[in-house]
Amino acid sequence: NSVWVSTDHDEIEKVAKQFGAQVHRRSPEVSQDSSTSLEAIREFLNHHHEVDIVGNIQATSPCLHPSDLIKVADLIQKEGFDSVFSVVRRHQFRWSEVKKGENKMTEPQNLNPAKRYRRQDWPGELYENGSFYFAKRHLVEKGYLQGGKMAYYEMRAEHSVDIDIDIDWPIAEQRVLSFGYFGKEPLKEVKLLVCSIDGCLTNGRIYVTEDQKEMVSYDYRDIVGIDLLKKRGIQVRLVSERDCSKTLSAMQLGCIAKVSATNKLQVLEDWQKDMGLSWKEVAYLGNEESDVDCLKKAGMSGVPADACVVAQKAAGYICKSNGGCGAVREFAEHIFLLLEKVNSARKQ
């Protein structure tokens, strides 16, 4: 019914509100290094008597998909479970620990060494992965996140990532890039990318010479990204609110462009209709408030890392690169990952 971020940090509160969440300010008593999630949740419930069910989503599990949460909520709301928690299936053989100095042999815990399974022939075991814990209010008030009529929810391995130590971070990033959430509707192949010129293809800066001539800079990686998109059969078109015809001519990109565009959404809709595409087949890369409507309309949307806050909020993907510094190439690679996902789904 509502999404809350529990924090005692001003910057986290600011970001949470920018992205539409409500904020519960934690007290110092439950904001210690030794504080547990359960303590923070119980404090939250003390201030929100209207809440009957809590879904505790761990921030350290970034690969969690919305579809999983919907199914888990149904287990509690429609099937009568009191608590549901996430698990993942692992194929790991366990042995008893022998402490240093003990004159003992280790013993197998979940296998017979004489009849050792091949991993692919063994169903494995279920382990908690810490992605989420859902529980009814009466359990939390008693001090439990698990209890009553319990159920587990098995997550797919590629979505099960727990950032616990430094090495987990790059693994999580690669999982998000490879298996990230692309929307609730069936995936479709992107056939058109529309890119805002100023602040995406360029860094948004305009240099003026002494003889009043304008110059802009761009990153060659972005030009390579556009060429790669074309080779994959994806049309690339450009749009700008200012008249940058001479700049585009000098760059020799060979892309259809609309300059002096007072309404970018109208331009996008005209191109979409002319090409006979669904919105799921259109991608858009923008960075300003004037791009927000286009970002919301396109089936796949992205912004450079230095895009304005409202554009970031409307986008489905935020690049690590700034505008004019490789953002177009990065977004192109994100599109390629989607194409691989579409092709894989077709084969299945």
15 part of a folded domain: no
pLDDT bin (cut points 50, 70, 90) of residue 141 is very high
State yes or no: is 116 an active-site residue: yes
The stretch 229-239 carries a mean pLDDT of 93
Same domain as 203, residue 146: no
Among candidates 92, 85, 302, 117, which has minimal Cα distance to 193?
302
Same domain as 199, residue 56: no
Coil, strand or helix at 343: helix
Q: Token digits for 257?
A: 């462009």
Question: For the domain that residue 129 is a member of, what is the CATH number?
Answer: 3.90.550.10
pLDDT of residue 53: 94
206 part of a folded domain: yes
- 114-123, 209-218, 220-229: lowest mean pLDDT where? 209-218
210 part of a folded domain: yes
Domain range enclosing 148: 52-91+122-165
308 part of a folded domain: yes
Q: CA–CA distance from 323 to each of 16, 49, 64, 239, 327 (Å)?
A: 24, 46, 29, 15, 6
Same domain as 211, residue 281: yes
Same domain as 342, residue 211: yes
pLDDT bin (cut points 50, 70, 90) of residue 9 is very high
Question: Does residue 4 register a pLDDT over 60?
Answer: yes
The stretch 113-137 carries a mean pLDDT of 90
DSSP string, 264-309: HHHHHHHHHHHTT--GGGEEEE--SGGGHHHHHHSSEEEE-TT--H
pLDDT bin (cut points 50, 70, 90) of residue 185 is very low
pLDDT bin (cut points 50, 70, 90) of residue 63 is confident
pLDDT: is 175 or 192 the higher one? Answer: 192
Mean pLDDT of the chain: 88
pLDDT of residue 248: 74
CB 64 within 8 Å of CB 57:
yes
- pLDDT tens-digit series, residues 111-122: 889 888 887 788
Same domain as 317, residue 196: yes
Coil, strand or helix at 299: coil
Same domain as 197, residue 131: no
pLDDT of residue 173: 77
Share of residues in the chain with pLDDT > 70 (%): 92
Same domain as 342, residue 207: yes
Same domain as 318, residue 201: yes
Q: Residue 33 corresponds to which amino acid?
A: D
pLDDT bin (cut points 50, 70, 90) of residue 215 is low
Same domain as 73, residue 210: no
Q: Phi, psi at residue 196, to the nearest 5°?
A: -70, 130
pLDDT: is 315 or 337 the higher one? Answer: 315
- Of the residues 116, 156, 205, 242, only one is catalytic, namely 116
pLDDT bin (cut points 50, 70, 90) of residue 186 is low
Question: Does residue 27 register a pLDDT over 60?
Answer: yes
Same domain as 202, residue 161: no
pLDDT of residue 346: 61
pLDDT of residue 184: 42
Q: How many CA atoms lie within 13 A of 228 on its CB side?
A: 15
Residue 19, sorted as left (phi over 0), alpha (psi -120 to 50) or beta, turns out to be: alpha
Q: Phi, psi at residue 342, to the nearest 5°?
A: -65, -45
Same domain as 223, residue 304: yes
CB 45 within 8 Å of CB 140:
yes
313 part of a folded domain: yes
- 58-72, 221-235, 296-310: lowest mean pLDDT where? 58-72
Question: What CA–CA distance (Å, rounded) separates 300 from 156?
Answer: 24
- pLDDT tens-digit series, residues 32-47: 989 998 999 999 999 9
pLDDT bin (cut points 50, 70, 90) of residue 182 is very low
Question: For the domain that residue 253 is a member of, what is the CATH number?
Answer: 3.40.50.1000
Helix 327-347 / helix 220-231 crossing angle, nearest 10 deg: 20
DSSP run (H or E) holding 48 = none
Question: What CA–CA distance (Å, rounded) separates 89 from 74?
Answer: 22
Q: Residue 235 corresponds to which amino acid?
A: Q
CB 217 within 8 Å of CB 202:
yes
Question: Does residue 58 register a pLDDT over 90?
Answer: no
Q: How many domains does the chain have?
A: 2
- 94-98, 119-123, 199-203: lowest mean pLDDT where? 119-123
